[in-house]
Each structure stands twice: as structure tokens, then as C-alpha cells.
Amino acid sequence: MNVQVVNLGEVITNENESIRGHGTFQKDGNLVSSVAGIVHRVNKLVSVKPLRSRYHPEVGDVVVGRITEVLRNNWKVDIGARHDAFLGLSAIILPGGVQRRRTSTDEMNMRNFYKEDELISAEIQKINYETFKISLHTRSFKYGKLSDGQFVTVPPMLIKRSKSHYLVLPNGVLLILGCNGFIWLSIPEESELKIKKISNWFISTTTELQELEDEINENSNKSIKDKNMDLETNNFDFYKKKEKMITKEQRLEICRVRNAVLALSNSFLPIYPTSIMLVCKKSIEENINPKEMIKQKNMIILTSEVKELIK
């Protein structure tokens, strides 16, 4: 594949036929890049995707964000985009899934749902391209408050879009890969997942990779389904803070995944379940402790296999 990399202000093309897309502007009949990045062409549309930038939201993206302000009937959420996102009071699910209009009492009690500085997961509902207002919603029970876990940020362009961004890894770690580069790691709600020791896998062929992906998907679906069932019965606890017991082993696994993500980010490699698991596996093979994983020399060792895979 031919990749065209351009600098800010560089002429991309002088063909008259091209139409200008994101990251470009027209000057003297030329199409000029307004960012440094890679040129994408779809039919005649030319756009430039920047190598490093703030998050560019798209409708339907799963994001992790932090509440920064409680407003009259919505929350201001930082999702790392150019603009703040807003989560409306009417865009959340009320306890028990009750369907009704929000009252002023609800507005008064907004802090019972989400307070400042809390982390949430949500979906981009709509983007007003005129005013750049980004609206979020928590469409189902799987979105909402995040607690008892660890938060990591990476450049958003490293997050590889996949069918599901709500994942349970084979080592029992819940992974929410926010498309905005905000990643949440925790332990899923109690469920009967088969959790394998990472050392037991040997990923070498693509078929096994496929199997791994399938397993991750299956696990994720199961846990999320369980969560749904759970919440329908105990719905009032949904917005309450739950103290989960997290064992030392689990903490170590979460830590391992976190540092794997950081290692990938350090090498500017795409972050998705398979790449994360490859790094984790490597760390066990090389006998590197989770806390050792983010040493520069270790990071290079750990990500070498992923680099091979991507080539």
C-alpha cells in the first residue's frame, strides 16, 4: 500500500477533481494539508489523518470520560476531544429502567448519579458539526460509572476500532478501550468465566490468534449479558458505589495489562486485545514482573513480537 505522509502546509495534490475532507484546505487551486499526518483517499475525497492529535469523535464510539462539572440538566465530561462532551440527564438510564420525563427533583439529585471527577463510560450519541457540541449517552446498563480499577491514557489514534470495545480478557481483566484513548481496567462483575493462566497459551499461528479473539469476544458477551441481568433485578444499586474485593493476583493482572498498554503506546503500536495479550504473554515468557514492564529496554523486548505480527 502506498502511504503518503504530509507535513503541515504541504501540497497534497493539485488535481482539480479531488474533494477536500478533514485536515485539508484549498489554496491557489492546490489541496494543502492543515495537519501533519497520513493522507487517506476514499474515491475522490482526500483527507489527512493527523499522527498525533486530540480525539476526533464519531457517532457510536465508546469513550471513557471524566465528569468535570455538574450543570443544570447535564454533566460536562472531558473525553480528550477538542471540545467538552455533554451527558444529558435524559440521556442516562434511571434506576430500574423507568421511562419518564426528568423532573426538577431529578435535576437537584444529579450528584447522586455522577459527581465531579468521577469516571464514566459512555457512547457518542451525536455531534453537532455546526457548534461542535458532542452529546453522550449511556444507552444500556453496561455503560455508566467506573470504579475499582485503573485508568490509562494513550494517543487516541492507537486504539484500533473493533466490533466491541467492552472486553473481558482471558486473564480475567475487564478492559474498556475508549476510542478516545482513555482506557479503563478492572475486574468484571462476578460471573463464571473461564480464566486461563496466560502462561498456558502459545500463540504462534494466525488460527490460534483467531481463537483467542473469539474467546475474548465470547467472554465479553457473557459478562456483559450477566451484568444486564444482574442490574435488572438489583437496579437501585446501579449508581451506588460498589466496593469490590480485588485479590492480589487480580491486581497484578490488571497491572500487567496496564503496562502492556503503555508498552504498546511507547512503541506507537496499535492497541487491541490481541496486541495487548501478546505483550502480556511475552512478559511471562521473559519472566518480567508487571512493575518491570515499563522499563524502556523491557518495553522494546515486549513489543517486538507485535511488531513482527503487524508487518
3-state helix/strand/coil string of 157-225: HHECCCCCCEEECCCCCEEEECCCCEEEEECCCCCCCCCCCHHHCCCCCHHHHHHHHHHHHHHHHHHHH
Taking 3-state DSSP, the helix, strand and coil percentages for the chain, each rounded to the nearest 5, stand at 35, 25, 40
CA distances from 47 to 51, 126, 160 (A): 13, 21, 19
Q: For another protein, give the closer residue by CB, 94 or 255.
A: 94
Cell of 124: 457518542
Binding site for another protein (CB under 8 A): 17-24, 40, 42-45, 47, 58-60, 62, 88, 90-94, 97-103, 123, 125-126, 129-130, 137, 139-140, 142, 161-166, 224
| Cβ at position 205, least distance to another protein in Å | 19
CB nearer another protein, residue 138 or residue 265: 138
Map grid coordinates 464510539 to a residue.
61
Nearer of residues 107 and 294 to another protein, judged by Cβ? 107
CB of 252 to another protein, least distance (A): 29
| Closer Cβ to another protein, 101 or 311, answer by number | 101
> Least distance in Å: CB of 58 to another protein?
6
Q: How far is the CB of 255 from another protein (least distance, A)?
A: 27
Residue ranges of E strands in the chain: 5-6, 11-13, 19-20, 24-27, 30-33, 37-42, 45-50, 62-70, 74-78, 85-88, 119-128, 133-137, 144-146, 149-153, 166-168, 174-177, 182-186
Q: What is the DSSP letter of 89?
A: G
Residue placing its CB nearer to another protein in the complex, 50 or 266 = 50
Q: How far is the CB of 310 from another protein (least distance, A)?
A: 15
Pairwise CA distance, residues 201 & 277, whole Å: 10
Q: In angstroms, what is the minimal distance from the CB of 298 to another protein?
A: 31
We find the least distance from the C-beta atom of residue 137 to another protein, in angstroms, to be 5
Q: Are 65 and 58 in contact (CB under 8 A)?
A: no
Q: What is the DSSP letter of 152?
A: E
As measured in angstroms, the least distance from the Cβ of 228 to another protein is 10
CB 89 within 8 A of CB 106: yes
Nearer to another protein by Cβ, of 40 and 54: the residue is: 40
Nearer Cβ to another protein (1/98): 98
8/59 with CB nearer another protein: 59
Q: Tell me the β-bridge partners of 31.
A: 13, 26
- Using DSSP's 3-state secondary structure scheme, residue 263 falls into helix
